[in-house]
Amino acid sequence: MSWLKRLLGYALVLLVVMTAVDLWRSRSLPASADALDGLVTLQGKPVSLATQSQHEPVLLYVWASWCGVCRLVSPMVDLVPGRVMSIAIASGSREKVQAYMNDKGYDFPVINDENNRLARALGIGVTPTLMIVHKGELKLATTGFTTLPGMMLRRWLVQFGD
């Protein structure tokens, strides 16, 4: 049983460190998700993250088709319950991004940022980047590899931390 206590202790320390790092990374985020309104998905559906995030947090996943780590994270993003929106940066035309989504079998909605306009507005320089949008505000960001439980935990922390 002492190994279980030790394991739980390590998990708690890891959770505290991850949360602190995410909060540090999030300090440079624009407060508002206004730059993300008036956009459309690959299917032509209008997107308003301010509206979508009023009642529950939205996981915003910024990725690229050429990103190696994104190839590991995207299948998990596809499994996240609740609201998810994604932005494909510098991944080519709408048709090319749609073909990539079809080839991989991903169902999450995608906004194509072919020219990195949105990525620059959000200050994103690394893929993948995952952010939580809640009540129209960008609340939390993390970059690099993230697991499905990590994504769900971050959204839960934002939702119940307000």
Residue among 162, 159, 161, 160 at smallest CA distance from 83? 159
Please give the model's pTM, rounded to 2 decimal places: 0.81
Task: Count the neighbouring beta carbons within 10 Å of the beta carbon of residue 142.
Answer: 21
Residues (pLDDT < 70) of the chain are 1, 10-35, 162
Domains detected in the chain = 2-161 (3.40.30.10)
Q: What's the Cα-to-Cα distance from 57 to each of 126, 133, 158, 162, rounded to whole Å?
A: 22, 6, 7, 11
Place of tokens 């190839």: 71
What is residue 110's predicted lDDT score, i.e. its pLDDT? Answer: 97
- The string of DSSP letters for 80-115 reads --S-EEEEEES---HHHHHHHHHHHT--S-EEEETT
Residue 159: both structure tokens together? 């939702």
pLDDT per residue as tens digits for the range 69-115: 999 999 999 999 999 999 999 999 999 999 999 999 999 999 999 99
Question: For residues 162 and 158, what is the distance between their CA atoms, to the nearest angstrom?
Answer: 6
Contact 94, 118 (CB under 8 A): no
